[in-house]
Structure 1
Amino acid sequence: MRDKVLETGADVGLAFDGDGDRCGVVDNEGEEIFADKVGVMLARDLSATQPNAQFVVDVKSTGLFLTDPVLIENGAKTDYWKTGHSYIKRRAHELDALVGFEKSGHYFFNPPIGRGYDDGLVSAIAICDMLDRAPDQSMADLKRALPKTWGSPTMSPHCPDDKKYAVVDRIIARIQAMADNGDQLIGQPIRSVVTVNGVRVTVEDGTWGLIRASSNKPGLVVVVESPATEANKKAMFDALDAMLAEEPDVGEYDQKI
């Protein structure tokens, strides 16, 4: 798709998965845009016309949903919730959110945009509408307008199915105790601890890390991101990795940073 976008000079490339409930995006310069960043771009666009809009995103998604200055100015509110399209769909309905965004690319547009379920064509139309409302900007321009972040891929250390939830519970307790005691993480105060699906810990400058149990294999899920520096991203991973290294049931990663 990248090659075809560049060959034809297309404004955007849109790709759909086999059952049509997700839409992938390549910008006009042939670069893939990850689904959570597309979500921030759409949230910017939609909250400009619908002030104080409510969004739901899964815990693996970028922290820009909370820290992006445009979303803050527009009064947008974001609820981080459990990973899994059924969880995001239900939560978006419960909160009467405008959209639920999942990092895997499932987007749930509620009325008046959609009907509450994940539909790749509805997502594609919303992306085209966003471009239509920004005639002087390309898809690449809209992406570059987002604040820079340094993020990791989704990393998965092995952990047996019958052990992984207990491991995560111990990590949750440890990080929550640090927050309650006023302890620092990567040399900064802990700003928030979200425990709806594993533990997502955020420090003062917005750097965050997530540890949760994988829902479909014997392993954990580890994700980190920093809006400040690449060094802080690595520091957050090192801090979480050190905690996991003390757990005898946690094994090798499929990949690391």
Structure 2
Amino acid sequence: GVMLARDIAARNKGALFVVDVKSTGLFLTDPVLKEHGAKTLYWKTGHSYIKRYSHETGALVGFEKSGHFFFNPPLGRGYDDGLVAALAVLDMLDRNPDKSLAELKHALPRTWQSPTMSPHCGDEVKYAVVDRVVDHFKKVAANGGELAGQKIRELITVNGVRVVLDDGTWGLVRASSNKPELVVVVESPTSEANMRAIFAEIDAELAKHPEVGAYNQKI
């Protein structure tokens, strides 16, 4: 997604993108996107949410981490068309004849990101648990508290809570839309240690809630 955003932003100065809250922080911090004046809004995970919000905000493209890409006019018709996405990738490669797809990927700033981790949490309680977790991090931020040794720079609460720290490290907790699970993702642009540190903080908070069970996987 960031590779395509770079290519599109270079031809559409000031382009607006919409991405879901599970997506990489590079959409906000990538120097190439900044150079071209690109702006990114984070929104609820779910292809229907990204499709609708991309249309409502006039975003040029909506990217969902799961692979649903929505190209709005003049690039596409606003729905997740795999052929349009494939053409966008081919166009990007055509404009970079001296680079392979792997080389374009390796040109992105490095980040350390976890897989999607899903602790069990019953459908009847998962949203209430997330609400309590959101309230906890709001209180920490309001009181000037720290997480993993850093100040909280921003809380994105459109879908659970995405806690963003001063160095751009972030952690997400949200309720799965279709399973009796929570969704936890963490990423750091600075180090694996910082990625693991914010996960440890989030994991410790979730452990306070007896409704939260075992993870499907952990870092």
**TM-score tier (shorter):** over 0.9
For residues 124-175 of structure 1, the C-alpha deviation after alignment (integer angstroms, 9 at most, x for no partner) is 0000000111112111110010000100000000011111001000000010
Correspondence 1:81 to 2:43: yes
- The whole-number CA distance in structure 2 between the counterparts of 1:127 and 1:196 is 30
Aligned to 2:210: 248
Deviation at 1:204, TM superposition (A): 0.6
Aligned to 2:13: 51
Correspondence 1:142 to 2:104: yes
- The whole-number CA distance in structure 1 between the counterparts of 2:55 and 2:156 is 20
Of 63, 75, 94, the match for 1:132: 94
For residues 69-109 of structure 1, the C-alpha deviation after alignment (integer angstroms, 9 at most, x for no partner) is 11111110000000000000000001110100001100000
* 3-state SS, counterpart of residue 129 of structure 1: helix
- The whole-number CA distance in structure 1 between the counterparts of 2:190 and 2:126 is 31
* 3-state SS, counterpart of residue 212 of structure 1: strand
TM score, norm. by length of structure 1: 0.85
Deviation at 1:179, TM superposition (A): 1.0
* 3-state SS, counterpart of residue 14 of structure 2: coil
Correspondence 1:179 to 2:103: no
Aligned to 2:74: 112
- The whole-number CA distance in structure 2 between the counterparts of 1:254 and 1:138 is 35
Instruction: Please list every run of 5 or more consecutive structure 1 residues that lacks an aligned counterpart in the other structure.
Output: 1-38
How is 1:22-33 mapped onto 2 (pairs within 5 angstroms)? none
How is 1:31-70 mapped onto 2 (pairs within 5 angstroms)? 39-70=1-32
Of 169, 189, 200, the match for 1:227: 189
Instruction: Please list every run of 5 or more consecutive structure 2 residues that lacks an aligned counterpart in the other structure.
Output: none
Deviation at 1:182, TM superposition (A): 1.0
Correspondence 1:159 to 2:135: no
Deviation at 1:181, TM superposition (A): 1.2
Deviation at 1:177, TM superposition (A): 1.1
**Matched residue pairs, number?**
219
- The whole-number CA distance in structure 1 between the counterparts of 2:54 and 2:35 is 22
What's the Cα RMSD here?
A: 0.5
Percent of aligned pairs sharing the same letter: 70
- The whole-number CA distance in structure 1 between the counterparts of 2:78 and 2:37 is 22
Of 114, 132, 141, the match for 1:170: 132
Q: Which amino acid aligns with 1:180?
A: A
- The whole-number CA distance in structure 2 between the counterparts of 1:251 and 1:243 is 13
Deviation at 1:235, TM superposition (A): 0.4
Q: Which amino acid aligns with 1:225?
A: E
- The whole-number CA distance in structure 1 between the counterparts of 2:217 and 2:171 is 16
TM score, norm. by length of structure 2: 0.99
